[in-house]
Amino acid sequence: MRASIFKSEVAAAAIWSTFALFLSSSALAQGNGHLEVTTIVQKEIFVETEEGETTTQLVEAQSVVPGEKVVYTITFKNVGDAAAENVVITNPISESLTYVAGSASNGSMRTEFSADGGKTFGLASELRVVDGDMERPAATQDYTHVRWIMQTQLEVGAEGSASFAAVLQ
């Protein structure tokens, strides 16, 4: 890195934010088999093609600045010697991130969210939060966790993935 990068408070915040993203990127998995779980964090960039069109690409999130979109991809594999049942993958969403509505990708798994630090989960349309003395529907900035629940067992050697996007505040 060039020394001039550190002269900017925005760049310093971006470096810290990237560090915080990786700290919060640990997905938890539970099931009755042995699961190997990996999380990668990428950011979305815009690239202009030779034809002058703009496309989006995902690249390693080495630094992220406020307003940039990051994508978490969680891959999992059953490395045990029996099928895994009741597989649940849970990923926290850092306080510095706002979940992008509709971005949770999961194949055939049920997707649920938490707005209370992972104590309770439900469909996005079911989530409620207490704001002062009023209860209201949870907004995406209230989400603290995303969780995927497999509807079938995960056979030995089988793999899967889930992902979601969020914007750095």
Domain that residue 106 falls in? 3-168
- Mean pLDDT throughout 129-151? 95
Cα(24)–Cα(9) distance, integer angstroms: 22
Q: What is the pLDDT of residue 142?
A: 97
The whole-number pLDDT of residue 131 equals 87
Q: What is the pLDDT of residue 108?
A: 85
Three-state DSSP class for residue 34: coil
- The reported pLDDT for the residue numbered 21 is 46
Q: What is the pLDDT of residues 46-81, one digit of tens each?
A: 999 999 999 999 999 989 999 999 999 999 999 999
What is the mean pLDDT of the segment spanning 108-116? 95
What distance in Å separates the CA atoms of residue 15 and residue 168, rounded to the nearest whole number? 12
- Give Cα 20 to chain centroid, integer Å: 13
**pLDDT average, residue stretch 2-13:** 35
CATH number, domain of 84, equals 2.60.40
pLDDT-derived band at 166 (thresholds 50, 70, 90) equals very high
Provide the number of structural domains found in the chain. 1
- As a whole-number percent, the residues of the chain with pLDDT over 90 amount to 74
* Least-confidence region, from 4-8, 114-118, 145-149: 4-8
142 vs 33: which has the higher pLDDT: 142
Strands (E), the chain: 28-30, 35-48, 54-60, 69-78, 88-92, 97-99, 110-114, 128-131, 134-137, 145-149, 159-168
Does the pLDDT of residue 106 top 80, yes or no? yes
> Could you identify the residue written with the tokens 């991809």?
73
CA distance 167 to 70: 6
Query: What per-residue confidence (pLDDT) applies to 158?
Result: 95
